[in-house]
Amino acid sequence: MIDFKDKQELSISEEFKKNGYLIFKSNNVESLEYLRQVIIDNICKICHLKKPRRNDYNELLNNFHKKIKLKDLNNIRLKIINALNKDKEYRKNYFLTSKKILYELVGNELSMQNRINLSIQLPKDKSSLLPLHSDIWSGDSPFEVVIWIPLVDCYNTKTMYLLPPKNYKKVEKNFKKYSGNSSEDFFKKIKKNVKWIKINFGEVLIFNQSLPHGNIVNNEKETRWSMNCRFKSVFSPYGDKKIGEFFEPITLRVASELAIKYKLPKIK
């Protein structure tokens, strides 16, 4: 296959293909800070907490479980998600944290998910789990990638896991053996082969959502905060998540814009 990508593009493409994910330092720290700031402001407003100094943001997020009751968590999460998605600059800043890598790995004409998801995992909380799954198995297009942004340092059980491509190949070959069981049983069978994503605030994860992934109960002493949002090439095939409903073009090029509007002149 002909490939005119430059050396750097080829090397990160290879890494993404081999590992199923990439972690990179966001080249737009301002945007990342903006995302965190809006969350902090809304936590304080919704939970009636005193606004901390910038140096204490980490403390507030990591110790969030000490400041609220578990029964209020879902309500708080929904209120914060609504606030993020009402903020006109939020999605743009989310995109800007990862623009470079998206252009290199996905393309420069992108569709972005309309709503950004927020995950808050309190220690020992069993109610906010995302069992093992591949997004494709539930109808997503394999052309989508996920940009996953942690707001705190994530490690061990305070993070997500992903089954690397070489291990997935073995599962794929013998899929019947796994697929008949519950996702919990499935996870038990692949547990020792998954990669736990160690990532800090300031870094961003891009991963291949077709690979099995998920999380388990957070057994660390800190709360996990992370966001996720899907991106895909505008003109690539869509799955259940459609353009106009779930996705929206964000970087359409002028040639495409003109082509979409073009009408053949009438000859009669």
Q: How far is the CB of 232 from Fe ion (least distance, A)?
A: 14
Q: How far is the CB of 250 from Fe ion (least distance, A)?
A: 21
- Enumerate residues 132-151 that contact Fe ion by CB under 5 A: 135
Residue 109 vs 135, nearer CB to Fe ion = 135
Q: How far is the CB of 60 from Fe ion (least distance, A)?
A: 27
Cβ neighbours of residue 225 under 8 Å, at least 6 residues apart? 39, 61, 64, 118, 119, 120, 150, 151, 152
Calculate the CA dihedral of residues 82, 86, 92, 95 and round it to 10 degrees: 10
Q: How far is the CB of 135 from Fe ion (least distance, A)?
A: 4
Cα–Cα distance for residue pair 151/199, rounded to 1 Å: 10
- Enclosing H/E stretch for 13: helix 7-19
Of the candidate spans 27-35, 130-138, 198-206, 218-226, the one that interacts with Fe ion by CB under 5 A turns out to be 130-138
If one asks whether residue 109 binds Fe ion (CB under 5 A), the answer comes out as no
Cβ neighbours of residue 81 under 8 Å, at least 6 residues apart? 115, 116, 117, 118
Residue 97 vs 208, nearer CB to Fe ion = 208
Say how far residue 118 (Cα) sits from the centre of its chain. Answer: 9
Total residues in contact with Fe ion, by rule CB under 5 A = 1
> Residue 37 corresponds to which tokens in the numbers above?
């700031």
Of the candidate spans 27-35, 74-82, 127-135, 156-164, the one that interacts with Fe ion by CB under 5 A turns out to be 127-135
Q: How far is the CB of 255 from Fe ion (least distance, A)?
A: 33
Residue 135 vs 153, nearer CB to Fe ion = 135
Q: How far is the CB of 228 from Fe ion (least distance, A)?
A: 8
Cβ–Cβ < 8 Å for 147, 228? yes
Residue 139 vs 265, nearer CB to Fe ion = 139
Find residue 205's DSSP bridge partners: 23, 148
Summarize as ranges the residues that interact with Fe ion (CB under 5 A): 135
